[in-house]
Structure 1
């Protein structure tokens, strides 16, 4: 694929990342349709406040250097790499290159391009000729053409300093500062000169600004998303309190309707009690022990009650495993049952029968 076209696409994507509102511009309707066709999510068109925020963020990014539009000239002629190079061809190509350099010195850039094109057709395996023509295209401010030639030069010779230099300069013309900095650093390592240093310095300065801009925008986006999530949670919580039929999904995820939930730590117990409070559910907390005979009889009873009353939270804790909690609640024997409502203990019974426990549940759930 044409590298210049890829550069244009990269620039468009960067702009859309920086300001997603651009995707709602009528001129980009085709691009938005394409993204949605792939299953991509396009943010909703922002209101005035969002638009103002995006404008403020975008206006913070000021880069050095003039930006040119990519040239849309037809691709320049390239040589046939399969051509056998004779000494005569090589000499003729060298003579044409000399004429081209003279034309450049006289600022006859179109003439220089013609000479270099003839030279390339004679000697298509010369990275130097492609890099030289790329440099002239840079002078003519034709970034796309320069990149095509520089790419070819680097395919022939991956260590072509002139190829990296020309391509880096072309990228900078097209405001592709990260690509420009990368190529110019390589060019500088291979063959340092003051011109490379000057352009590289500007490119690196712009890259730093772009990275800072991205970090800032990403931070603002995350803060905005956090506020949105917090607002939704608050809204959901308010809705749950106003409408008992609407329940907090996060709290529901902690509990399991119709099942006995074993707890193995104080943190785990607190989390489940909090979830039940958020859902305005009654909790039955059952303290048991592996050595307790009556508990073995009560276990199946407790499980059947959990199935019968799925909107009541049935918790189970081992007195030896959660000894600190048992001590705090003054649990002296097992089986012991607590009823908790709205985060507060409302009833307690030791060694109860099924009928007694079920009666207690009905009383505190308003079913008596």
Structure 2
């Protein structure tokens, strides 16, 4: 018994079946609900979900690898700065005593005050040389109260505090000395040493470098060499952490872009599916696939959201093809499908319209219904065989 269906129609049906075999989820589209019901009545089962037109999805193995990478990245990013191995030998516990008297910064010392302060300074230096550091601190304090504008008095008292293992007190005095005289090499030297005793390696290296720059001193240079290894380790660690931070920001920015692109792609697909109309209209993107274009070509076309949306627009209203005359991606595919369907029934959705609506130069062949369905019925997937250029009137379809 001969098949009652035209060979050209069978060829299109085969294209449609190939599409469904490649992506069974196509049958979940509202336009194909009638065909899904038919399959389920015969005992078949259609997989859940919607078809993907956005390109290749990552393989399960690749997705698993990506998931495994994330914990590693988080682990790396959580490295604390304390992981840097530093030589803390020679460091002391910080002193937390009340601040020492700094004198009245607004006081204008008289000549008599200056003379008395110089005498006290000499006594303080003598006490220091005799290692009477407590006495030296007291004498320098008296000198500072008489002449609080002397950077040297503050720096020297800071030196005495170092001998008493009071690095914080030394730092306060040296900082005050630098406020009075920013070029005090002595203040930088002793503040650098105090920072070293507290384990503040970067601050120590910075102060000691500045001290040697202002007035080279062998002792300051030795102290600088002592703190440099730890200071470099911390500097390299911070550079590493900064690089990781920047890499993390880049990954997050790329992920935001990827998600935005994915959202746009899905929105375009949803719009394309929504614009496809009801399954009975005969204008969805499956009808009239054409013998030559093939399932693979159609799937590839739908990997580009722009092309997919354009095809849906054209299939919903063939006269819209004029909007895409200057879009080579869309027109190349339309031309290819048109050249193939010219032998098998016309471009989808172009049949039955008065005046041969189609908008493409020369007109597309009119799309009839499934055999026996009548002119312009637009059944599934059916295309008639009207001559190229489209019918002049609806009467020509008879």
| TM-score bin, normalised by smaller chain | 0.5 to 0.7
Q: Which of 150, 161, 164 pairs up with 1:137? A: 161
Q: Which of 100, 112, 116 pairs up with 2:140? A: 116
Distance change >3 Å, CA 205–CA 351, structure 1 → 2: same
Distance change >3 Å, CA 102–CA 353, structure 1 → 2: farther
User: Are the equivalent residues in 2 in contact too, given 1:92–1:122 (CA < 8 A)?
Assistant: yes
1:317 is displaced (CA, Å) by 8.3
Equivalent residues in 2 for 1:89-238 (5 A)?
89-217=113-241
Q: What per-residue deviation string (whole Å, max 9, x for no partner) do you get for residues 238-270 of structure 1?
A: xxxxxxxxxx7751244435657xxxxxxxxx9
Q: What per-residue deviation string (whole Å, max 9, x for no partner) do you get for residues 269-307 of structure 1?
A: x9995586xxxxx94542999xxxx999733xx9xxxxx
* Secondary structure, aligned partner of 2:311: strand
Partner of 2:311: 286
* Gap runs ≥5 in structure 1: 1-46, 234-247, 261-269, 277-281, 303-315, 338-347, 364-368
**In structure 2, distance between residues paired with 1:204 and 1:95:** 39
**In structure 2, distance between residues paired with 1:162 and 1:196:** 9
**In structure 1, distance between residues paired with 2:271 and 2:75:** 49
Does 1:322 find its partner at 2:328? yes
Does 1:331 find its partner at 2:335? yes
User: Are the equivalent residues in 2 in contact too, given 1:287–1:336 (CA < 8 A)?
Assistant: no
Distance change >3 Å, CA 225–CA 126, structure 1 → 2: closer
**In structure 2, distance between residues paired with 1:271 and 1:85:** 90
**In structure 1, distance between residues paired with 2:351 and 2:98:** 91
Distance change >3 Å, CA 129–CA 283, structure 1 → 2: same
Task: Give me the TM-score of the superposition, normalised by structure 2.
Answer: 0.50
Q: Which of 248, 251, 257 pairs up with 2:262? A: 251
Q: What per-residue deviation string (whole Å, max 9, x for no partner) do you get for residues 50-76 of structure 1?
A: 889968984442235433232111111
Distance change >3 Å, CA 87–CA 226, structure 1 → 2: closer
* Secondary structure, aligned partner of 2:149: coil
Number of aligned pairs? 256
Distance change >3 Å, CA 336–CA 86, structure 1 → 2: farther
Distance change >3 Å, CA 353–CA 90, structure 1 → 2: farther
**In structure 2, distance between residues paired with 1:255 and 1:219:** 34
* Gap runs ≥5 in structure 2: 1-70, 273-298, 354-366, 368-376, 382-398
User: Are the equivalent residues in 1 in contact too, given 2:195–2:204 (CA < 8 A)?
Assistant: yes
User: Are the equivalent residues in 1 in contact too, given 2:337–2:347 (CA < 8 A)?
Assistant: no
Kindly name which structure, 1 or 2, has the bigger radius of gyration based on alpha carbons: 2
1:201 is displaced (CA, Å) by 2.2
Task: Give me the TM-score of the superposition, normalised by structure 1.
Answer: 0.54
Partner of 2:12: none
**In structure 2, distance between residues paired with 1:98 and 1:177:** 33
**In structure 2, distance between residues paired with 1:255 and 1:193:** 70
1:360 is displaced (CA, Å) by 8.8
Aligned-CA RMSD value = 5.0
**Structure 1 or 2: more strand by fraction:** 1
**In structure 2, distance between residues paired with 1:106 and 1:271:** 92
Q: What per-residue deviation string (whole Å, max 9, x for no partner) do you get for residues 137-195 of structure 1?
A: 12222121111111111111111111222222222222222222222222111111011
User: Are the equivalent residues in 2 in contact too, given 1:255–1:272 (CA < 8 A)?
Assistant: no
